[in-house]
Amino acid sequence: MIPIDDSPIVRDGKSLILAMDHGLEHGPVDFEDVPEKLDPSTVFETATHDAVTAMAVQKGIAEGYYPSYEDDVNLLLKLNGTSNLWMGEPDSAVNCSVDYAAEIGADALGFTVYGGSNHEIEMVEEFRDAQEKGREYDLPMVMWSYPRGQGLKNDTKPSTISYATRLALELGADIAKVKYPGSKDAMAHAVQCAGDMNVVMSGGSKTSDYEFLSTVEAVIDAGATGLAVGRNVWQREDPTQLLDALEKVIYEEATADAALEATE
Ligand code: FBP
């Protein structure tokens, strides 16, 4: 962990990372209800909102679209990823080098580690190479810390999420992105396990405005430093309205009710 409060992906100690790597991770199915979002420019436009501290994409999207947005959006380049077509034990192919991410203009790096997978050893070794190389460029490293695999029946139970944040701290991440463990108390324990490292919640599939904002409120109350979210923002008809509300909950620590009232 290195100090990242001055990094462009952090605003007042918090982060709101807009993720759009779903075309690889889940496939076109995530765009069925919002086919216009298949054009990555539409989500880059959303990422120009002041609340968004970085947009997380894979190399191909960064190469093709980031040049038009580099003045308005901070780039978090995801270095590995797997498609939903892969049926094996959880694993993630490293498809971009740190040198190339820096050349494209990345402000931060992203890397998935599936602790508990039969491929954990290789993934952690790949993470080591990326994390150490990233230090040469002063690029913060966000770990998608997602314990899963044949030995893990429930990948969001509190003890698993606490292990996920601790694992990220000990392996040298600067931000751990973890699933919500189901309650504010469980999230608070996961944050405690991370020491001084920042912890952000992974968005998950789309829910109602109130449900999502209430969960974010609980996560911020628990001491987490924000969100890395995809579908809950760009699958909405009006992503900007939700970002206005998220800005209040994350940076002003408003309640979900107050944020909704102020932005509707
Ligand atoms: P969402 O907010 O849409 O859940 O996106 C967060 C994310 O981590 C993406 O970066 C990634 O594509 C997806 O979730 C992976 O989720 P999972 O592996 O659980 O399907």
Sign of the Cα pseudo-torsion (119, 187, 193, 55, in order): positive
Residues 6+ apart with CB under 8 A from 170: none
CA 211 to centroid of ligand 1, rounded, Å: 18
Side chain identity at residue 159, one-letter code: S
For 89, counting Cβ atoms within 10 Å of its Cβ (0-12 exposed, 13-18 middle, 19+ buried), the class is middle
| Atom of ligand 1 minimally distant from the CA of 203 | 2
Q: What is the pLDDT of residues 115-167, one digit of tens each?
A: 999 999 999 999 999 999 999 999 999 999 999 998 898 899 999 999 999 99
Instruction: Kindly state the tokens that stand for 179.
Output: 């699933």
Residue where the block lists tokens 């324990």: 189
Q: What is the pLDDT of residue 264?
A: 81
Residues labelled catalytic: 177
CA gyration radius, the chain: 17
Q: What is the pLDDT of residues 73-128, one digit of tens each?
A: 999 999 999 999 999 999 999 999 999 999 999 999 999 999 999 999 999 999 99
Give dist(CA 224, CA 192) in Å, integer. 9
CB 217, CB 180: distance < 8 Å: no
| Atom of ligand 1 minimally distant from the CA of 229 | 2
Residue where the block lists tokens 């449900």: 211
CB 100, CB 59: distance < 8 Å: yes
Q: Give kind and range of the element (H or E) at residue 95.
A: none
CA 27 to centroid of ligand 1, rounded, Å: 11
CA 22 to centroid of ligand 1, rounded, Å: 7
Give dist(CA 187, CA 128) in Å, integer. 26
Q: What is the pLDDT of residues 33-42, one digit of tens each?
A: 999 999 999 9
Q: What is the pLDDT of residues 208-234, one digit of tens each?
A: 999 999 999 999 999 999 999 999 999
The mean per-residue pLDDT over the stretch 251-263 comes to: 96
Q: CB of 148 closer than 6 A to ligand 1?
A: no
Instruction: Give the angle subtended at the CA of 196 by the CAs of 118 and 189, to the nearest 5°.
Output: 65
| Atom of ligand 1 minimally distant from the CA of 231 | 3
Of all residues in the chain, the percent with pLDDT exceeding 90 is: 97
Q: What is the pLDDT of residue 186?
A: 98
